[in-house]
Structure 1
Amino acid sequence: MCGAVRGAVRGALPWPRARPARLPQGWALEGAQDRTGQDRTIPVRGRPEWPEAEKAEKLARGAALKWASGVFYRPEKLEALGQYRSRETKRNNSIQARLKSTVQSYLEGVSAGLEQLRAAAEEVQSVRRELGAARWALGGSAERRQDLQRMRALMAEHVQLASVVKVLPQLFSAPVPVFSRTLELLHEQHLLEAHAELMMLEQLRDDVLFQLHLRGLSSAQATVLSYFRGLQELNESLAKQLWGIVGRSLQLVREDPVLFVSAVRIIEREEKIDDALLLDATFLPPGRPKGWRQKFYHVLQETITGSRLLTARVDTTGPGLSRHLAALQREVVAELLVVKDLMVQCVPAHYNILSICPAMYHQALSSHLQDILQEDLDKQGLFLLLEWVLHVYQSPEMMGHPGLLPEVDVSALGPLISPDLVDQTERKYVVKVKASVLEWMQRTLEVEFKEWFREEEPETDHQGFFQSALPVIVMQMLSENIRVASLITASLQQKVYGMALEELEAFLGRLREALVQCGKEHQKERAVPTHYVPYLLATLNNSLALSSSVSSLHPDTAPREVPASLQAALDRTQRKACQLLLEELLLDLQVGWAVASAWPCICSSALPFSPQRTPRARTRVQRLLLTESERLVTSQYVRALMQRRMVCRGQEERGQLCRRLLQDATQLRELFQGLGLDRSQQSLEAVFALRELICLKDPALLSLEVLGFITKYPDVSDEHVSSLLDLRGDVSKELRHMVLEMMAQHPQAPPEGYQSIFSTILVPAPELPFCLRKGKCA
């Protein structure tokens, strides 16, 4: 049964390998070799190749086999085999019929196309023969073509001559001597008559050119223009006279305004002609529009800009610049008054001459002043220019003159020079003033330094205090420069004020250097200067006077605080003078534990600087000296304590040291308190704090005590604490390390206004043991 089914199916649908693909009629198989040299068989008809046909047949057979195996996989399906075969046969016949019909219609279309191509080829051959005959016929007509070109040129010339002949009556209507007569009128300055003749000639020329333009004969215009070539000379001569009159307009309106009025009327005539021609823009004659009104403004601007004062070489040294600015002021005002009173009556109102002329003067002056500012002006020149630009120019003496108001509005003209240029000029002025102030202060300081070495004591004021002329000279010079700057602008005053503070601060630095130099001379020889201390007191009084006078330099009348940097410079100068004074105390002050009479030495050295011993110093100076004396005594006392000269060998010696420290500190505090220095202003509390560290009985509590001590005195270093621990004599290495580590973990920043004590005290380095061997030192 299975064999029968397979046979039936194989008979209905043959397998792909059963037979090769069927080729179309007229095709054959030929043997060939591919590129690798292998033989292969390909279908050819005129040697075309159909590899797709074989592939399509294989795919179809595979699809049919798949379909048949799916339909006839059960025996009962074989009963319908005949029906399937009949249906597939009918379908194949239908497809073959459609294919034959398609191929037949395709062949018929190809046949019709071939017939059309054959007819087109015959027509192309016919056209080619006819073109060849035409080319042969035209080959002998080249000479006739050249004759036609000459005839065409003659025709064009004939047309032009005919057009010119038509306008000859108009051309001959112009009298021959009109050109010469117009030139004579121009030379005699009969401008209106000459311009009337000129307009008549231009009108005739323009009418002729317009007729040629309408006939499309633009090439004939060259002949007409050559006939009227004298018009260009007349135009140039008239324009030259007009611009010469406009250039002398300010003089003419005062002497002979008729000529200027004639020139303006001519300019107005030409403007009307320009407007009419521009309104009908179909044809513009040569040289139009003339634009003589704009030329009028341009010549007027050049006349103002090129005036004698604005182009002359300016002498910027000495009073030359002042005279030049004054002359500019007089001339500009006088000329603007002429414009307002006379010129405005000679020109039409729409010229707006009262607005244009001031703007022209404004622009010319602005450019002129910018040129002057390019030069290296001195302080006085810069001041004069700033004052003239910012004050004189807008004042009633110049642009705000009563005779110019209200027609001339100076506020509408804008600034004469830009704000940036004003600021740049102000900065230049400040630089010049700074150089002058620096030179003056340097000379003042040199004179002051020489006075310190005089054989006489310094001068005294009405209260008997030592002083010199230094503060008065410095403050008068600075305040005068600030006052002068206030005459220009507030911004310049502020710039000069800032410069004055900077220079005063720098001057205080040079004053300190001079004090140091004087101190060195005094150290070399005690008798030089003779009155060393009085002049130091005078310097302190001067510094105090400068400090109280700085606030008066501020531009505002209300009192102002002294800037922090300047106040610091004043404080440094006062401290430097106090230091030099107290160095006299250091020569006698010797604090040491080996001397039993150290306390009387301290008291006897501190008393000379008490208020009763310095009557020529002001109260604030005396208090400053007393404060610095107390701080110096405290510093020297602590320094002696830190010298590592003694070590307590037990509790009894530490007790003796603590009692001595308490006794000295108490007596010193009472001494300075009796001299007028309040207890809260004294630095001796540091000695009491050191005593607490030394008297502490339990060394284990040292870390807490040291932490409180560095909190109160943040300028204490590790060396200071180590020296105190050495002084106690009972601190182990482990405890010392713990205390120093605790200090490293809790650094303290000095509060604002803190007066350092320990930072000026140097602790000597510990002496290292001397070893000769390479082994460990004992």
Structure 2
Amino acid sequence: MGMSAEDEHTVNPKDEEWPEAEKAEKLARGAALKWASGVFYRPEKLEALGQYRSRETQRNSSIQSRLKSTVQSYLEGVSAGLEQLRSAAEEVQNVCQDLGAARWALLDSADHFQVLQQMRALMAEHVQLASVVKVLPQLFSVHEVFSHTLQLLHEQHLLEAHAELMMLEHLRDDILFQLHLRGLSSAQATVLSYFSGLQELNESLAKQLWGIVGRSLQLVQEDPVLFVSAVRIIEREEKIDDALLLDATFLPPGRPKGWRQKFYHILQETITGSHFHTACTDTTGPGLSRHLAALQRDVVAELHVVKDLMVQCVPAHYNILSICTAMYHQALTSHLQDILQEDLDKQALFLLLEWVLHVYHSPEMMSHPGLLPEVDVSALGPLISPDLVDHTERKYVVKVKASVLEWMQRTLEVEFKEWFREEEPETDYQGFFQSALPVIVMQMLNENIRVASLITGSLQQKVYSMAMEELEAFLGRLREALVQCGKEHQKDRTIPKYYVPYLLAVLNNNLALSSSVPSLHPDTAHSEVPVSLRAALDRMQRKACQLLLEELLLDLQPLCMQLPSRKWLSGSQLVSSMCEVIDKYAKDFSRVRKPIFMLLLMESERLVTSQYLRALMQKKMVCKSEEERSQLCDRLLQDATQLRELFCGLGLDRSQQSLEAVFALRELICLKDPALLSLEVLGFITKYPDVSDEHVSTLLDLRGDVSKEVRHMVLEMMAQHPQALPESYQPIFSMILVPAPELPLCLRKGKCA
């Protein structure tokens, strides 16, 4: 089974040459053993050994046959390849022999080639001289053609002149190109000098062309042939430019001319220069209105000319109508921006906004039926940017604000003077005092807001916000003027003569303003008075009411000074006199509209009540006997009843009156047993929680029969039952200051130890 290394080396010398074959054989043997061990691992399988041997023998025979066939095919291919290589080697050898023979033949002919080189140079020179001789007649006639071309230009025979110009340029450029090919750059300067007249011809032609283009809108109506000739020349030059740029091997001097682009540039300058000179524009309201109207008229007319006539005179690819529309649009944009740099008045700003946002796109201008649908500025963007529109609107609002402020100041000055007139204020059809102030102010604000709405909703909102701010400031100044008027009246109550009626007129005016403000809102369906303005209106109303009540107080105070007193107890007409004063003022108050009238009535009743209670608490009188207390109770009942009936008769319901405090206070005075005062006072402070210890102590003093023990008990009870003020409670006693008790004599003299 085993085999020594020497035997292996002896038997298998080819393994060193083909190690892959040895490896393949080993792998095959291993695979065969693995297969056999898997098939014959059980004894009964050995019965089929003969079948397996026969099948494998047939398979090996088939494989060997295929291998022999493959090797035979391979050997035949190798044989054919070797034969082809042999033939190729013979052909290469033959070629090498032929090349050697040709090389020797060329070496023998070298001298003859030198003679041919001289002939080639002579031939090239001959060709050049022939070319020069051919163009000599043209070269000799160049200056004559220059003169003739200039003459044609002067006579405006543009197409003929341009044809000769093209011929001259072609001649010059051909010569320059030949020099360029032969590297004779030094000779180019001589050629350019000889053709220097071409520069003058080009300039002269260009000057005429741009003059024609500059008058194109006029020429297409009067002499379209001249304009068409200019366009044809421009197109010829464009074709020459395109051809030279496409070749790009040689570019003659002055090329590309770019005359089509120059055509558009001149057209742009013509459009811009004809109407859009800001320095010459009158920027005041009337002057700007005339200028904008002229722009509207001229732009529409000129676009009609372009659409109806110029379009027919230029190639379709010029897209002349769209380009002119864009030129006018851009020129207008720049022009309007320049105008907006000026310090414009209110009217000018309004006109500009209206023109930009409404007139420009209207059927009277860019949406003119004669221009649609070919003219379309919608794709060109806004005439001025939204930011600039917003900035202009703000400038307009500033101007309007200054105008409103000036107007309101004059209105206030007139109103202030009217307060000092020697006649009552005017009345409306219902007899209520009023002045023209609300109508003047509201008409002015409403007109400005309405005018702003003609521009944009945003401008209307800006003007509305400004109007609310200015109205609020105006109410502040009006209130200050009212205070000044009140000060003048305090110095001399005869000035103004009709002080109260004018205060009532101010209240009616304030109410009229308050009811009219919502109508100013751009959205009347959801309008409401701004909070700060509502506060200003309320402050104005409170100040006018305060001045009226101060006037009433001045007339009541002399009467209130007389109570309490013994004369008052005995049955004077003091309260009757107070009622007369109140009734007189109530008649004046009836000249204001009902909401304010009821407010004044309620405030007057509270004023009367507080003054009556304040008079009682001045410690002017102390009841000396039970009889006096009885008289005091009767007097309090009569006075309070009389006053209550008065206010009820004036329209103030008992539930709205504060005089009930006098009736409650009377109960404290009328109580016969001082020991029950604690209970009575508890009920009193529960009903009137703003009553202080000083108030109760003063009332106890008024009775004149309260001992120190009872007073201490009452005050102790109050300390144990502190009262909180309900939100809806109207203070009465907190507005009444009780005089401080006198200090002991020794303290007043400063001698106490």
Is the TM value for this pair above 0.5? yes
For residues 764 and 384 of structure 1, the distance between their equivalents in structure 2, rounded to whole angstroms, comes to 70
- Partner in structure 1 of residue 387 of structure 2: 420
TM-aligned CA distance change 1:641 to 1:615, over 3 Å:
closer
| Equivalent runs, 1:297-336 vs 2, <5 Å | 297-308=264-275, 310=277, 313-317=280-284, 319-336=286-303
Task: Quote the residue 1:616 is aligned against.
Answer: 591
Give 3-state SS (helix, strand or coil) of 1:402's partner: coil
Give the AA of the match of 1:398. M
Query: 1:473 aligns to what?
Result: 440
SS of 1:195 mapped into structure 2: helix
CA–CA distance in structure 1, aligned partners of residues 132 and 683 of structure 2: 129
1:464 is displaced (CA, Å) by 2.2
Contact residue 769 and residue 777 of structure 1 kept, 8 A: no
- 1:415-446 deviations in whole A, cap 9, x for unaligned? 22222222222222222222222222222222
- Note closer, same or farther for the CA distance 1:161–1:683 as it changes in structure 2 (3 Å cut): farther
Partner SS for 1:283: coil
1:222–1:656: structure 2 CA closer, same or farther, 3 Å change rule?
farther
Alignment-mate amino acid for residue 446 of structure 2: S
Q: 1:232 offset after TM fit, Å?
A: 2.1
Contact kept, 8 Å, 1:163 with 1:212, in 2: the verdict is: no
8 A Cα contact 1:662 1:691, kept in partner: yes
- Tell me, in whole angstroms, the C-alpha distance in 2 between the residues paired with 1:285 and 1:754: 104
Aligned mate of 2:162, from 195, 201, 210: 195
Aligned to 2:411: 444
How far apart, in 2, do the equivalents of 1:658 and 1:343 lie?
A: 109
TM superposition shift of 1:318: 5.8
Tell me which residue corresponds to 2:358: 391
In 2: Cα distance, 1:215 partner to 1:700 partner: 137
Query: Are the equivalent residues in 1 in contact too, given 2:425–2:505 (CA < 8 A)?
Result: yes
Tell me which residue corresponds to 2:605. Answer: 630
Q: Matches of 1:686 and 1:369 in 2, distance apart?
A: 74
More deviation, 396-405/437-446: 437-446
Q: Closer, same or farther in 2 for the Cα pair 1:338/1:663, shift >3 Å?
A: same
Change in 2 beyond 3 A, CA 1:774/1:471: closer
TM-score (structure 2 length as normaliser): 0.69
Could you tell me which of 568, 582, 586 is aligned with 1:606?
Answer: 582
The offset of 1:340, in angstroms, is: 0.8
**CA contact 2:589–2:600 (8 Å) conserved in 1:** no
Percent identity, aligned pairs only, is 77
Pairs within 5 Å for 1:336-351 = 336-351=303-318
TM-superposition CA deviations, 1:530-562 (whole Å, max 9, x none): 322222222222222222212222223436222
- Residues 285 and 345 in structure 2, CA contact (< 8 A), matched pair in contact too: no
Q: In the superposition, relative to structure 1, how do residues 604 and 310 fare at CA in structure 2: closer, same or farther (>3 Å)?
A: same
Number of residue equivalences:
605
The structure 2 residue matched to 1:235, chosen from 180, 202, 209, is 202
Query: 1:676 — aligned with what?
Result: 651
> For the structure 1 residues 648 and 332, does the alpha-carbon distance in structure 2 shift closer, same or farther, using more than 3 Å as the test?
farther
**Against the structure 1 CA distance between its residues 325 and 697, is the aligned structure 2 distance closer, same or farther, given a 3 Å change threshold?**
farther
Q: Tell me the CA shift for residue 179 of structure 1.
A: 2.0
Q: Which moved more, 1:262-271 or 1:622-631?
A: 622-631
Opposite residue 618 of structure 1, the aligned amino acid is: R
Q: Structure 1, unaligned stretches of length 5 or more? A: 1-157
| Matching residue of 2:467 | 500
**Contact preservation (8 Å) 1:458, 1:535:** yes
CA distance in 1, matches of 2:738, 2:196: 110
**1:378 CA drift (Å):** 2.0
Matching residue of 2:534 = 567
Equivalent of residue 372 in structure 1, options 318, 335, 339: 339
1:449 Cα deviation from its structure 2 partner: 2.6
1:361 paired to 2:328: yes
Is this contact kept in 1: 2:433–2:504, CA < 8 A? yes
Asked if the contact 1:627–1:682 (Cα under 8 Å) also holds between the matched residues in 2, the reply is yes
Gaps in structure 2 of 5+ consecutive residues: 1-121, 701-707
- Equivalent position amino acid for 1:624 in 2: L
Cα distance between partner residues in 1 of 2:177 and 2:686 = 113
Superposed, which structure 2 residues align to 1:145-224 within 5 Å? 168-169=132-133, 172=136, 173-174=138-139, 175-176=141-142, 177-224=144-191
Q: Pick closer, same or farther for the CA change 1:422–1:161 going to 2, 3 Å.
A: farther
CA distance in 2, matches of 1:499, 1:193: 70
Matched, 1:293 2:293: no
Letter in 2 for 1:365: L
Q: Distance in 2 between matches of 1:706 and 1:282?
A: 118
Cα deviation, residue 235, structure 1: 1.7
420, 440, 464: which one pairs with 2:431?
464
2:743, 2:396 → 1: CA distance? Answer: 64
Aligned mates of 2:640, 2:128 — CA distance in 1: 131
Residue number in structure 2 paired with 1:519 = 486
Give distance in 1, aligned partners of 2:250 and 2:683: 111
8 A Cα contact 1:497 1:554, kept in partner: yes
Distance 1:457 1:191, change over 3 A: same
Could you report, residue by residue, the CA deviation over 1:303-348 in whole angstroms, capped at 9, with x for unpaired residues?
1111156456222336322222221111111111111111111111
**2:554 corresponds to:** 587
Q: What are the within-5 Å matches in structure 2 for residues 106-145 of structure 1?
A: none
Name the Cα RMSD after superposition.
4.6
Q: Distance in 2 between matches of 1:334 and 1:164?
A: 61
TM-score when scaled to structure 1? 0.67
1:644–1:726: 8 Å Cα contact kept in structure 2? no
Report the AA paired with residue 676 of structure 1: G
Instruction: Verify the 8 A CA contact 2:664 2:684 in the aligned structure 1.
Output: no
- 1:252 aligns to 2:219 (yes or no): yes
1:487 is aligned to: 454
Question: Alpha-carbon deviation of 1:236?
Answer: 1.8
Say yes or no: does 1:552 pair with 2:519: yes
The answer as to whether partners of 1:647 and 1:726 remain within 8 angstroms in 2 is: no
Partner Cα separation in structure 2 for residue 671 and residue 245 of structure 1 = 99
Could you tell me which amino acid in structure 2 is paired with residue 189 of structure 1? Q
Contact 1:722 1:736 in 2 (8 A): no
Change (3 A) 1:774 1:166: farther
The verdict on how the C-alpha distance between 1:208 and 1:767 changes in structure 2, with shifts beyond 3 A counting, is farther
Equivalent position of 2:233 in the other structure: 266
Give the Cα separation in 1 of the matches to 2:675 and 2:320.
104
Cα gap change, 1:401 to 1:777, in 2 (>3 Å): farther
Q: Give the Cα separation in 2 of the matches to 1:552 and 1:282.
A: 79
> Residues 482 and 254 from structure 1, CA distance in 2 versus in 1: closer, same or farther, beyond 3 angstroms?
same
Q: 506, 528, 534: which one pairs with 2:495?
A: 528
**Residue type matched to 2:601 in 1?**
L
CA distance in 2, matches of 1:458, 1:171: 109
Which residue pairs with 2:477 in the alignment? 510
The 8 Å contact of residues 564 and 620 in structure 2, kept in 1 or not, is answered as no
**Letter in structure 2 aligned against 1:262:** S
> Cα gap change, 1:292/1:606 in structure 2, threshold over 3 Å: closer, same or farther?
same
2:521, 2:527 within 8 Å by CA — same for their partners in 1?
A: yes
Instruction: Specify whether residues 756 and 220 from structure 1 end up closer, same or farther in structure 2 by C-alpha distance, changes over 3 A only.
Output: farther
Cα deviation digits, residues 217-272 of structure 1 (max 9, x gap)? 44543343333322222222221111111111111111111111111111111112
- Structure 1 residues 683 and 336: alpha-carbon distance in aligned structure 2, compared to 1, 3 A threshold: farther
Aligned 8 A contact 2:300 2:366 in 1 = yes
Structure-2 change in CA distance of 1:760 and 1:238 (3 Å): farther
How far off is 1:761 after superposition? 6.4
Question: Matched residues in 2 for 1:648 and 1:162: separation?
Answer: 157
Does residue 386 of structure 2 align to residue 429 of structure 1?
A: no
Q: Distance in 1 between matches of 2:544 and 2:440?
A: 20
C-alpha distance in structure 2 between counterparts of 1:293 and 1:731, whole Å: 114
Amino acid at match of 1:524: K
